[in-house]
Amino acid sequence: MQASREDTLPILKDLIGFATVSADSNLALIDYAAHRLRDLGAEVKVYRDGSGAKANLFATIGPETDGGIVLSGHSDVVPVEDQDWSSDPFEMRIADGKAYGRGTCDMKGFIAAALAMAPHYAKADLKRPVHFAFTYDEEVGCLGAQALMHDLALLPFKPAVCIIGEPTEMRIIEGHKGCCEYTVTFTGMEGHGSQPDLGVNAVEYAVRYVARLMELRETLKTRVPEGSRFDPPWSTLQVGRLAGGVAHNVIPGHATLDWEMRPVVNADADFVKREIAAYVKDELLPAMRAVSKDAEIVTEIIGEVDGLEPVPESEALRIVAELTGANGADLVAFGTEAGLFQRLGISTVVCGPGSIEQAHKPDEFIALDQIDQCLTMLGRLTSKLQA
């Protein structure tokens, strides 16, 4: 029981036509998917964000019980400005065995395949539910998926397995590092450069903060999990930008620091955050406020996305290996929403059509035979849902 390429491409064409750039609304796409699934008798829940302009979708075909399998994809795409496209990026074009358009591989191809399979799931006698999870704002910090996890935790049933359909050329991915991004603002007190002790030099305190980060970076190299297959095998940390000051002879009153870390395990992220917070509280702020009571250090979380940690026993890996015929799983450098599902206790892998090499580029495309392979996997999933 399987959908065809001919079933899928019209859906993909419709999805590409929704210009769901992260800065804009995704509601038209979510409404489209919700309508298709409701027509099949699915139980559909749409969760809007605080602005009302974005929404996640979570839908269920089959019994509302524990043990379901989630097919998950993000609805947003990256911008097309300043990219040299050969055709309208939001109008799908077929040529040379490929479908071109923004989001074809990242990751509307998988969403289209899942929606094309939905009528077949609806006709089957499912003992195990299949869920559809379509999120917003993955490209800007997995914001939609983080919100969705709170909603899923409140459901009366718990899915057991999740397949994230990011473009992996249908290879099974069992792990990737997390990604945590921060902006730290230092507020000191300006003064004349000839009397540095009478001011609070925000840049100098930012430099001290960076020096502590560099110490922690070296410590992370000693915390490598046994058997880590990542490259490099340890959690990484790096400073992306430090800005502050107005002139040579003015004590800077403000500085801004951007930094990130990519943890192999969530415990490393917790370790770094705990250590740097203690350094700010116990050393930097007391020294700054000894001169100015208004001195401050404020950390803004730009994004905290859990990594996907490889685990010895993975139901998701076992099931998807049986569906695809794969005899192993890989790791990737790019991040996904998979770690968020894993942290919720759902066994998760990443496996989807298309190549990450085409994502975010002009003339993004997905090979049509990749769609065929994805449909084969999703078709074989029916028997798992019926068992």
Pairing status of strand 130-135 against strand 98-100: unpaired
Characterise 178 by phi-psi region: left (phi > 0), alpha (psi -120 to 50), beta (else). beta
Query: Which one is catalytic: 14, 76, 137, 309?
Result: 76
Q: How many CB atoms lie within 10 A of CB 240?
A: 11
Distance CA 192, CA 215 (A): 32
Cβ atoms of residues 130 and 72 within 8 Å: no
Query: Which one is catalytic: 14, 106, 138, 166?
Result: 138
Q: Which of 216, 306, 291, 299 is nearest to 253 (CA)?
A: 291
169 is catalytic: no
Cβ atoms of residues 143 and 24 within 8 Å: no
DSSP string of 103-114, one letter each residue? TIIIIIHHHHHH
* Bridge partners (DSSP) listed for residue 132: 59, 71
Cβ atoms of residues 366 and 166 within 8 Å: no
C-alpha distance from residue 206 to each of 71, 212, 247, 275 (Å): 44, 10, 17, 16
Pairing status of strand 130-135 against strand 55-61: antiparallel
Task: Give me the phi and psi of 200, to 5 degrees please.
Answer: -120, 105
How far is C-alpha 160 from the chain's CA centre?
Answer: 20
Sheet of 330-332, strand order: 43-48, 55-61, 130-135, 69-74, 161-164, 347-350, 173-176, 330-332
64 is catalytic: no
Q: Active-site residues: which are they?
A: 76, 138
